[in-house]
Structure 1
């Protein structure tokens, strides 16, 4: 178990985060400059913390109140940097050996050979980093980080420089890595889909703070605020006032549109007259029959044909003042073209409360 509660102050930026991570992969997601990489550097001991503590499996790595600050070299924390940071003058084999050079040669050779086989780079041992592709360099960096058997493996946007095919292959390998690496893995990414695929737990960063942390399914099902909702892909927003609560059904009146029904969220204190923002992911919006619940008439304003779906923008409202987005499955309806008048449905089971009074939002699509 990794437990972190730290503060770090810089000119124009304050980092103040607290979280815990257990075995498996935890993804840190958030915009650039929100503090994700700095958090990794603090955990690794590469950046000095102003206040707080870091505890790893019962061992105190940092406690500023007790003046404890274990050196990076003995924390047993592996770090894969965004640019891989391989030693250019060393071969692949020597790069991997660097962190275990204190071991007997026979032992280190066995570790290196096993890792190179697991990472599918067994034939590249004699090459230098300049002779490797980006994907091969990434595999070497992972092998080098794992060789000393770290208790925590920190990955700072490891897939950002890779093409789609190599990225997919390495994602699968990273997931498979857990078969022989039993430590804690923390993955920093900007990409929600990547973070969701790779992890079981997520921490969502916002301006040096963690806005929400926990099981990925719970975060997607109940975003803590509009920032989290945006990162989770809730592009379509409905801002209105609670007009009725009947049993477990809540009705939101959105100006210029109509009433939208959702199931009353558990453990959320809501009342008639409250201002709420609902969100729905674009893939859950669909073309519907006029009489269907939560349906509204719209005019198609844009169509983008993608490989696995059709991205459709449509305008709705009394004066067509709102724009929404839908990802519709193929084959696209022949009537789906700019200017078409269709009915679109926002299914109640996919509408989620993403903001309450005090948060500023506007009805429509964040992508529109």
Structure 2
């Protein structure tokens, strides 16, 4: 099941004109405030009627100005999760969840209360009142209620924005499970690069109502031309990895396409798939294989792009195996090393620079 849309809409402060597809998995709508993210998701939900265009869900037009189709929200069969849980305070968690089933088609199979509760880790909360839940627990219940309506697609508008960092860390693993264990496509609005890097399988980068870039998360996030939109301090790369060993000195060994990485011990079994986000500012570029260096992570790479910035820095994109890495260095260093596409280099990464929040399941 997938979604495709091509819409235009005039907003008070910008003109929206977007076209992209949402495949299975989590597609993140990312961009600065006012770029059109919430406008797009509201158009998909039916809360906003675009001026022109079409939205096709699983081959069915749910909006098409040429065909004069504009299904009301309740007929689109979409689950919408907002920034706040919007739970009914007078109902228990179980009754909030069962409320979602009232809107589920009775002639179609779907998840049970038990399976959804287990997936989201809320089985022990069923008899609790919403007022006694943490922010992360409320959001998990809201997601469960949406799932039990048997939606064809989930819409999430910055579901973690109102949570503090501990609560975000609490809910992220459950969103990863949702991504990996269900076939429902998810359109996910966020302004957090770290969130997008950890969760998204594909990314649509918006700015001023237009799509700047869309595609697999690994490609979009490691594209040097998108660094300005992502923010220099947040620019980086996402690597798929497999855990190969846990060592007695507290390090976990991972295999990536370009070689081996050692990171602080991860609480996951050998053989598990994971993804690692490495910031551009945490990579040193070496022209030859470094020796007698404290850094354990050294990946051979080939320079693919040298992107000058407006200041004294440049962004270097390198290919290591099938992955792309970004490094932010000074223009002076790039000129001294004569870095240009095709140059063979080594990417040096500190193990301690990779935060636990930058490691997710795959």
Q: Which residue of 1 aligns with 2:43?
A: 42
- For residues 326-341 of structure 1, the aligned pairs below 5 Å read none
In 2, Cα distance between equivalents of 1:345 and 1:197: 31
Instruction: Indicate the SS of the match to 1:178.
Output: helix
In 2, Cα distance between equivalents of 1:63 and 1:218: 31
Shift, 1:324, TM fit? 5.8
Gaps of 5+ in 1: 236-279, 294-321, 327-342, 353-368
The 8 Å contact of residues 29 and 36 in structure 1, kept in 2 or not, is answered as yes
Instruction: Indicate the SS of the match to 2:89.
Output: coil
In 1, Cα distance between equivalents of 2:56 and 2:230: 31
Deviations 1:253-286 (A, max 9, x none): xxxxxxxxxxxxxxxxxxxxxxxxxxx9212246
Instruction: Indicate the SS of the match to 2:66.
Output: helix
Q: Which residue of 2 aligns with 1:162?
A: 163
Instruction: Indicate the SS of the match to 2:150.
Output: coil
Q: Which residue of 1 aligns with 2:188?
A: 187
Q: Which has the larger radius of gyration?
A: 1
Deviations 1:300-329 (A, max 9, x none): xxxxxxxxxxxxxxxxxxxxxx66699xxx
- For residues 311-322 of structure 1, the aligned pairs below 5 Å read none
In 2, Cα distance between equivalents of 1:103 and 1:111: 11
Residue 111 (structure 1) aligned with residue 112 (structure 2): yes
TM-score (ref. length: structure 1): 0.62
In 2, Cα distance between equivalents of 1:27 and 1:104: 28
In 2, Cα distance between equivalents of 1:150 and 1:109: 9
Instruction: Indicate the SS of the match to 1:66.
Output: coil
Shift, 1:223, TM fit? 4.0
- For residues 125-164 of structure 1, the aligned pairs below 5 Å read 125-164=126-165
Q: Residues 71 and 103 (structure 1 numbering): CA distance in 2 closer, same or farther, change over 3 Å?
A: closer
Question: Which has the higher mean CA deviation after the structures are superposed, 160-169 or 84-93?
Answer: 160-169
Gaps of 5+ in 2: 237-278, 289-310, 316-330, 342-362
Q: Which residue of 2 aligns with 1:331?
A: none
Instruction: Indicate the SS of the match to 1:82.
Output: coil
Shift, 1:102, TM fit? 5.7
Q: Which residue of 1 aligns with 2:86?
A: 85
Deviations 1:193-252 (A, max 9, x none): 2101111211111011111111222223434456436378459xxxxxxxxxxxxxxxxx
Shift, 1:166, TM fit? 2.9
The 8 Å contact of residues 220 and 226 in structure 2, kept in 1 or not, is answered as no
In 2, Cα distance between equivalents of 1:2 and 1:346: 43
Deviations 1:159-203 (A, max 9, x none): 222233332232111111134421101211111121011112111
How many residue pairs match? The answer is 261
Q: Which residue of 2 aligns with 1:171?
A: 172
Instruction: Indicate the SS of the match to 2:187.
Output: strand
In 2, Cα distance between equivalents of 1:226 and 1:121: 38
The 8 Å contact of residues 45 and 70 in structure 1, kept in 2 or not, is answered as yes
Shift, 1:133, TM fit? 0.7
Deviations 1:29-52 (A, max 9, x none): 111121111111110111111111
In 1, Cα distance between equivalents of 2:16 and 2:122: 38
Q: Which residue of 2 aligns with 1:296?
A: none
Shift, 1:351, TM fit? 8.0
Give the alignment's Cα RMSD to 1 decimal: 3.6
Q: Residues 284 and 40 (structure 1 numbering): CA distance in 2 closer, same or farther, change over 3 Å?
A: same
Q: Residues 88 and 8 (structure 1 numbering): CA distance in 2 closer, same or farther, change over 3 Å?
A: farther
Shift, 1:110, TM fit? 8.0
In 2, Cα distance between equivalents of 1:104 and 1:69: 20
TM-score (ref. length: structure 2): 0.63
- For residues 159-308 of structure 1, the aligned pairs below 5 Å read 159-224=160-225, 227-228=228-229, 230=231, 233-234=234-235, 281-285=280-284
Q: Residues 229 and 108 (structure 1 numbering): CA distance in 2 closer, same or farther, change over 3 Å?
A: closer
